[in-house]
Amino acid sequence: MPLIGILVRTPWRDLGEHLGSPGVVEALKLSLVVSLWALALSLLLGVPLAWLLARVEFKGKALVRSLVLLPMVLPPTVGGVALLLGFGRRGLLGPWLEDSFGITLPFHTSGAVVAATFVAMPFLVISLEGALGGLRQSYEETAASLGASPVRVFFTVTLPMVAPGLVAGAALTWARALGEFGATITFAGNLPGTTQTLPLQVYLLLQDQPAAATSVSLLLLAIAMAVLIALRGRWTGTPIERGAVTAPRPAAEEAPAPAATGPGAETYPDAKTDTETEMRTGTETETGTGTGTEHWPLHATVTGFNRLTLRAEPGTTIAVVGENGAGKTTLLRALLGLTPRAHAELRLGDADVTALPPHKRQVAWVPQDGALFPHLNALANTAYGLRARRVPRSDARREAQAWLDRLGVGHLAHRKPSQLSGGQAQRVALARALAARPRLLLLDEPLAALDQTTRARVRHTLRTHLAGFGGVCLIVTHDPVEAVSLADRVLVLADGRALQDAPPAEVSRHPRSPWVARMLGRNAWPGIASADGLALAEGGRLVVAEALPEGAQALAIIAPEAVSVHRDRPGGSPRNVWPGTVREITAVGSRLRVLIGSAEAPDLVAEITPDAAAELGLADGSEVWTSVKATEVTLVGL
């Protein structure tokens, strides 16, 4: 109704005359000057304040936030009184400001700016704090791992990503400053040409020229509406998806890999073109290029939550496995220098990087979600690390394109991350990490988001490209196939310590914990060694061919293929025979895994062919007998 009231009562015929009168023009100019200064001041003070509130933990934060937001709920006239008591002639700081700097705020334009800033700045702080708080830190941490300094990270990652929140906050702040009345009139007075802004003029006009007041009100209303419409709800944190409808859909998932990922690419890095070779030698400041001629052995001693020592030759791929909470991510973050929870004495090649900040370590990190920068296309993402190391733009783009080609996603160079499939995004993230010329590569569950088929394909690509990497690569994984097929070594973590660090075949044959054995699909029964076998911790006995010294803690490992399933009690040689009940049957590839529960032994997994299962007539609840030959049991001392 008030809106309609203004529209209906606006003297449209006299509108031009009213808005063009010298007093209104002067007030409009003053309003623009005051509101723009207030915006500038708000940006200067509000951006660091929002950063502080969003990113820094300190005592009394809630109180500081309340104080910053107080002007939003305070009656502006009370704000004006408070400003007078603070900065007025007889206020706390006023005399000092006047004596020391000759600054007088009340009844000056600067006073109107201060009043507008006081009331409007909270809009900027609240909007930017929300945007910063919603920004996942993995983007900034990844940027640092690609070699970007904190200042560069701020301008190339943080700022573009919070830009919608910042713009929205700035626009609201400006609009609020433009409309400020109460604090201004109380603190700065109503002096034409000095502090009489448009809202103050509306108030004045209302007393003797109500029609002109309506015209000026309409102008302010139009400005406010224009700002709100232009923002379209951006300050709520749910910006309109631009281009979401028009964006081309990703091509049918993994496009066939171009020739570069074929056998020729396996000769990487020697397969580079002459131009690239020249370019690389041209970037003199670089030390770590990972070009095959340079090798970066790893030597790390980690203390804190993780307590272990890692040594590895260049080109080694280590799978890091362990239960949830075992310290895998903490280990990676310690190597990156990103966590106070663990400290890594880190030596890469001849360089001790322990004391260096994350962006100078040349340790590249691919977090679980890839953390591709959403505002940059695949090519610019891949070139990011090179640009951070001051490689000229055109050279960086050329090299980035070559990396994308090598990983089979060269044709997607101009897509934004939101237009890539999960598998494509993973490859781009890997290309970006490798392009940054790291000396140590850390991959956090690189294939977790992929479906089985894509996973197999990307795993193959990954293996191909890691083969030419001159540093050490650590891959955190929960997938046993990934651990066994990608890695030269498997590092098993438990409680932050290395429980086992051995080649996959060794870990698979002699797992040092029931968890690892089960992860690798083995039956693992802990117990105490006896004369001819093992007294099982869960009750029962197991006969083995090669016993351990009596009394030793041990783990019995039985491969599922070694478990025979029978309908009737088997006769003959097997020494380990138990009755049981089928609890669950699942398909694994072309075979079936049968989980059998028994009163006389721990749960046992058998792997049999579907034909055998049909012959035995197996179903959930079937009563069966299981047997394991003594020679099929491996005992691992713990």
Ligand X SMILES: Nc1ncnc2c1ncn2[C@@H]1O[C@H](COP(=O)(O)OP(=O)(O)OP(=O)(O)O)[C@@H](O)[C@H]1O
Q: Which residues of 453-488 are buried (b: 16+ CB within 10 A; e: fewer)?
A: ebbebbbebbebbbebbbbbbbbbbebbebbbebbb
Examine residue 446 and tell whether it contacts ligand X (CB under 6 A): no
- Record the tokens describing residue 223, joined without a space: 């400005």
The answer to the question of residue 322 lying near ligand X (CB under 6 A) is yes
Q: In what order do the strands lie in the sheet with 591-597?
A: 564-566, 623-628, 576-588, 591-597, 604-608
Smallest gap from Cβ 315 to ligand X, in A, equals 25
b/e burial code for range 291-311 (CB count within 10 A of at least 16 → b)? bbebebbbebebebbbebebe
**Does position 427 bind ligand X by CB under 6 A?**
no
Least Å from the CB of residue 259 to ligand X: 37
Nearer to ligand X, 330 or 500 (CB): 330
DSSP code of residue 546: S
- Segment interacting with ligand X (CB under 6 A) among 50-58, 326-334, 412-420, 577-585: 326-334
Q: Which of 328, 361, 427, 432 binds ligand X (CB under 6 A)?
A: 328
| Residue 233 engages ligand X in binding (rule: CB under 6 A) | no
Residue 596 tokens read as 């059998």
**In whole angstroms, how close is the CB of 157 to ligand X at the nearest point?**
22
Q: Does 246 participate in binding ligand X (rule CB under 6 A)?
A: no
Biggest CA pair distance of the chain = 116
Nearer to ligand X by Cβ, of 139 and 305: the residue is 305
Tell which positions 358-417 bind ligand X, by CB under 6 A: none
Of the pair 257, 441, the CB lying nearest ligand X is at: 441
Q: Mark the segment that binds ligand X (CB under 6 A) among 252-260, 318-326, 398-406, 507-515.
A: 318-326
In the complex, least distance from residue 495 CB atom to ligand X, rounded to whole angstroms = 9
Strand order in the sheet with 342-348: 308-312, 298-304, 342-348, 351-352
The footprint of ligand X on this chain (CB under 6 A) covers a number of residues equal to 10
Between the CA atoms of 48, 52, 55 and 57, what dihedral angle is there, to the nearest 10 degrees?
Answer: 160
CA–centroid distance for 292 within its chain: 30
Q: Is 117 among the residues that bind ligand X (CB under 6 A)?
A: no
Instruction: In whole angstroms, give the CA distance from residue 475 to residue 545.
Output: 37
Which of 614, 627, 556 minimizes the C-alpha distance to 585? 614
Among 207, 246, 285, 324, binds ligand X (CB under 6 A): 324
DSSP single-letter state for residue 49: H
What CA–CA distance (Å, rounded) separates 253 from 423? 8
Q: Output 192 or 325, the one with its CB closest to ligand X.
A: 325
Buried b vs exposed e over 494-504: b needs ≥16 C-beta within 10 Å? bebebbbbbeb
Q: How far is the CB of 330 from ligand X (least distance, A)?
A: 3
Q: Residue 340 Cβ, how far from ligand X at the closest point, in Å? A: 9
- Site map 341..360 versus ligand X, x via CB under 6 A: x-------------------
Piece of the chain touching ligand X by CB under 6 A; list 32-40, 151-159, 167-175, 321-329: 321-329
Per-residue x/- marks for ligand X, 286-315, CB under 6 A?
A: -------------------x----------
Residues 471-490 contacting ligand X, CB under 6 A: none
In the list 204, 326, 376, 430, the residue contacting ligand X (rule: CB under 6 A) is: 326
Q: Give the Cα separation of 465 and 443 in Å (integer).
A: 13
Among 325, 357, 374, 539, binds ligand X (CB under 6 A): 325
What secondary structure does DSSP assign to 110-178, as a single string? HHHHHHHHHHHHHHHHHHHHHHHHTS-HHHHHHHHHTT--HHHHIIIIIHHHHHHHHHHHHHHHHHHHH
By C-beta, is 183 or 338 nearer to ligand X? 338
Write down the least CB distance from residue 287 to ligand X, Å. Answer: 30
Token look-up 């310290």 returns 327
Identity of the residue, 199 or 327, whose beta carbon is nearer to ligand X in the bound complex: 327
Direct distance between the N- and C-terminal alpha carbons of the chain, in angstroms, rounded to an integer: 81
**399 or 444: CB nearest ligand X:** 444
Of 132-140, 227-235, 324-332, 379-387, the segment contacting ligand X by CB under 6 A is: 324-332
Residue type for 263, please? Answer: P
Task: Give min distance, CB of 519 to ligand X, in A.
Answer: 12
For ligand X, give the closer residue by CB, 371 or 529: 371
> Could you say which DSSP state residue 79 is in?
H
What does the per-residue mask of binding to ligand X show for 73-112, with x meaning CB under 6 A? ----------------------------------------
Q: Does residue number 327 form part of the binding site for ligand X (CB under 6 A)?
A: yes
**Does 340 participate in binding ligand X (rule CB under 6 A)?**
no
Does residue 409 contact residue 427 with C-beta atoms inside 8 Å?
Answer: yes
Spatial distance between the Cα atoms of 187 and 174, rounded to a whole number of angstroms: 19
List interacting residues with ligand X (CB under 6 A): 305, 322, 324-330, 341
